[in-house]
Amino acid sequence: MSHKPSIAIIGGTGALGTGLARRWALAGYPITIGSRSAESATVSAQGLSALLSEKGVSGRVAGAENVEAARAADIVVLTVPFSQHAGMLGHIRESVQGRLVLDTTAPLVPPRVGTVQLPQAGSAAVSTQEALGDNVSVVSAFQTVAADKLQALHPMEGDVIVCGNKREDCARVIELVEATGMRGVYGGPLANSAASEALTSVLITINRQFKCQAGIKLVGLT
Amino acid sequence: MSHKPSIAIIGGTGALGTGLARRWALAGYPITIGSRSAESATVSAQGLSALLSEKGVSGRVAGAENVEAARAADIVVLTVPFSQHAGMLGHIRESVQGRLVLDTTAPLVPPRVGTVQLPQAGSAAVSTQEALGDNVSVVSAFQTVAADKLQALHPMEGDVIVCGNKREDCARVIELVEATGMRGVYGGPLANSAASEALTSVLITINRQFKCQAGIKLVGLT
């Protein structure tokens, strides 16, 4: 039996969700892929199971509708587009009570996704905390990660800033970051998620200029 | 005669201002150090002149009260603490009309300087633009740079994100970044300064943890 926490990935059929699911499943975490459609979730889960077999890794992978996925897991990861963020919080609110919710949301507002437009609460992560209530521990991470590189299982150069109001839950998320092959660094309280969320638009601007998939690295840590 | 633009550094006797003044003067830019006290500014300018002599570099360095300094220069650089930011904008408003103003301000609110607390306008740089008016071109940079390393003329590992609404003025600032020995990268419109400004509090949090002077580097640029 695995001693690793089980993880549900809400919106787990998108690019970032798929990338995280692959890396965590390969690292031995039990994964439930969540989607609005249980059928899509099941198809994704079957694809991931096939990948595990191919790599010779045994693992537990399932697919379910988002609420069912959330209910089953120790850690619930949000990887939905910002346009679906508020609605999804209302949808999963009851099922995530008492749990650690890892929010990866960058509050991009089309069509100007290269321009920082942080929400009224200061950050998407803080609005997640407000919507889910005090009985949920929200931690923020992964906003600056190139989803395509993650999904393709390429080596990752960048670091991941991890913000949250409970240090022990940030430490649990830093373990999850390390399981993806990246370095996770505690970046302060949940309000500091504003930095990573704003960086997403800066990185989009840079990607357009350099035709690349940029990330950020912390330097000078001795 | 130098063809390099002349630079006034408002609040130029502080750590970041001193670091920038040293590096730009050594790179051949004519520098005026601004301070609330013309006498302090003059003392700083004498110190910088002595450094140039010692390094065998000929350069033009002066000291003046902030408004006088601003009036004399092609590019005006703001390096005052956030607590003095709004007052200083009113003070120099008239003298910087028609000019490029480079704002380095991180909106830190003591005592919780490790917690992101962006101003109502979304960023300090956007509030600078609002206060100075449309006849000034505000560009934002240097919020993530360790002032002590800059001042000590140590090699710098990090990159500098440069944001502004006029691309040609961002290009002028990227040249100034390169003159300090760092790489400058265009990061989008002035609103995107929120990312660099928020990062300052994240870096303060990281500096406390690792007892270091962290910076950020952009990776994956091909």
By CB atoms closer than 10 A (0-12, 13-18, 19+), residue B115 is: middle
Is the pLDDT at A29 greater than 90? The verdict is: yes
Asked if residue B2 is part of any domain, the answer here is no
B44 touches chain A (CB under 8 A): no
What digits encode the pLDDT tens for the residues A133-192? 999 999 999 999 999 999 999 899 999 999 999 999 999 999 999 999 999 999 999 999
Q: Which of B112, B216, B222 to mutate to test the interface with A (most CBs of A within 10 A)?
A: B216
Asked if residue A199 is part of any domain, the answer here is yes
Q: What is the pLDDT of residue A1?
A: 47
What digits encode the pLDDT tens for the residues A90-137? 999 999 999 999 999 999 999 999 999 999 999 999 999 999 999 999
Asked if residue A221 is part of any domain, the answer here is no
Asked if residue A144 is part of any domain, the answer here is yes
Q: Is the CB of B220 less than 8 angstroms away from the CB of A202?
A: no
Counting one residue from A and one from B, how many pairs have CB atoms under 8 Å apart?
Answer: 135
Asked if residue B95 is part of any domain, the answer here is yes
What's the CA dihedral at B4, B5, B9, B13 to 10 degrees? 20
Asked if residue B218 is part of any domain, the answer here is no
Asked if residue A219 is part of any domain, the answer here is no
One-letter identity of residue A160: V
Asked if residue B1 is part of any domain, the answer here is no
Chain A's closest residue to B197, CA to CA, is A195
- Residues from chain B that touch A160, judged by Cβ atoms under 8 A, are none
Q: Is the CB of A219 less than 8 angstroms away from the CB of B157?
A: yes
CA B155 vs CA A220, B12, B16, B27, B162: distances in Å: 11, 21, 15, 15, 20
Chain B's closest residue to A117, CA to CA, is B191
Distance CA A117, CA A97 (A): 29
| Total domains in the fold of chain A | 1
Distance CA B61, CA B25 (A): 7
CA distance A60 to chain B (A): 33
User: What radius of gyration, in Å, describes the C-alpha atoms of chain A?
Assistant: 16
Q: What is the pLDDT of residue A165?
A: 98
What does the mean pLDDT of chain A come to? Answer: 96
B191 touches chain A (CB under 8 A): yes
Strand arrangement, sheet containing A159-164: A61-65, A31-35, A7-10, A75-78, A100-103, A137-140, A159-164, A183-186
- Residues from chain B that touch A123, judged by Cβ atoms under 8 A, are 116
- Residues from chain A that touch B157, judged by Cβ atoms under 8 A, are 219-220
Q: Which domain holds residue A58?
A: 7-210
Residue of B116, B210, B218 with shortest CB distance to A222 = B210
CA distance A124 to chain B (A): 14
Q: What is the pLDDT along chain B (222 residues), one digit of tens a residue?
A: 458 999 999 999 999 999 999 999 999 999 999 999 999 999 999 999 999 999 999 999 999 999 999 998 999 999 999 999 999 999 999 999 999 999 999 999 999 999 999 999 999 999 999 999 999 999 999 999 999 999 999 899 999 999 999 999 999 999 999 999 999 999 999 999 999 999 999 999 999 999 999 999 999 997
Could you tell me how far CA B127 lies from the centroid of its own chain? 16
Distance CA A130, CA A101 (A): 13
B62 touches chain A (CB under 8 A): no
CATH code at position B160: 3.40.50.720
Q: Is the CB of B158 less than 8 angstroms away from the CB of A219?
A: yes
Phi/psi of residue A135, nearest 5 degrees? -85, 5
